[in-house]
Amino acid sequence: MKRNLLAATVAIGIVTLMGCNKEKEPELTTSIQQASYGIGLNLGQSLAQDGLNELDIDALTLGMKDALGGTDARVDEKDIIAAFGDLQASLEARANEADEEAQQAGADFLAENGARDGVITTESGLQYEVLESGDAEGAQPGASDVVTVHYEGRLIDGTVFDSSLSRGEPIDLPVAQVIPGWVEALQLMRVGDKWKVTIPSELAYGPASPSPLIPPNSVLVFDMELLGIQGQDEGQEQDQE
């Protein structure tokens, strides 16, 4: 997993605008103080997400002060470049180890879940369990349809990363524009069905991640309820009239 250390180091320097002081914390009353703190907070969160939370803050601060004060660099450029290489290698090694652990944990979870009674595994590896069934003759969406669904998405450890249920409002989604696991599951469901769907990482986001809440190579578990299919609902209402 590649990390853009050049961009990170440019961002890191700005952290000292927070006014780091070991003896006394800076005040956060003026607009510039609050803006500076906000920059530092955002950058710190970004750096932590990139695995750079073990940086030496004192050395970081010293480098920023030297740059702002026009002081000559205390470390040769070639040594800094070499240090960046070491840090890059360390980050990649940790990321690769985390990826391997995630893949193994996902594989173990899928094997255990797939062995449970009531769980159906499709040819692609998608797993689903029927929680509630709609009308046996109910409509099924196609790839070109837009559907209305309620859902809650969790990691295999139970952590909820997204939920229309908690927001109290279902969402309309084009079937063809969601992750492959959803594309497959939605086209198997009928309106009124509520399923628990377990999606292997390759049918979800794989090594990529749309959110820091979803680690790379995550198996995702969704409670999904298909509430309706746009266009067909209106047609059914007209037929009833």
Contacts of 91 (CB under 8 A, 6+ apart): 1, 3, 50, 51, 52
Token couple for 241: 């009239």
**Active-site residue, from 161, 172, 199, 229:** 161
Strands 171-174 and 146-155: antiparallel
- Between helices 5-13 and 57-69, what is the axis angle to 10°? 70
Q: Active-site residue 151, yes or no?
A: yes
Q: Active-site residue 128, yes or no?
A: no
Q: Active-site residue 179, yes or no?
A: yes
**Active-site residue, from 50, 145, 162, 193:** 162
**Active-site residue, from 151, 156, 199, 214:** 151
Q: Active-site residue 162, yes or no?
A: yes
Q: Active-site residue 84, yes or no?
A: no
**Active-site residue, from 193, 214, 222, 229:** 222
Token couple for 32: 């510039």
**Active-site residue, from 39, 99, 179, 233:** 179
* DSSP state string for the chain: ----HHHHHHHHHGGGGGT--SSSPPP--SHHHHHHHHHHHHHHHHHHHTT-TT--HHHHHHHHHHHHHTPPPSS-HHHHHHHHHHHHHHHHHHHHHHHHHHHHHHHHHHHHHHTSTTEEE-TTS-EEEEEE---TT-----TT-EEEEEEEEEETTS-EEEEHHHHT--EEEEGGGS-HHHHHHHHH--TT-EEEEEE-GGGTTTT--SSTTS-TT--EEEEEEEEEETTHHHHHHHHH-
**Active-site residue, from 50, 156, 199, 205:** 205
Q: Active-site residue 109, yes or no?
A: no
Catalytic residues: 151, 161-162, 179, 205, 222
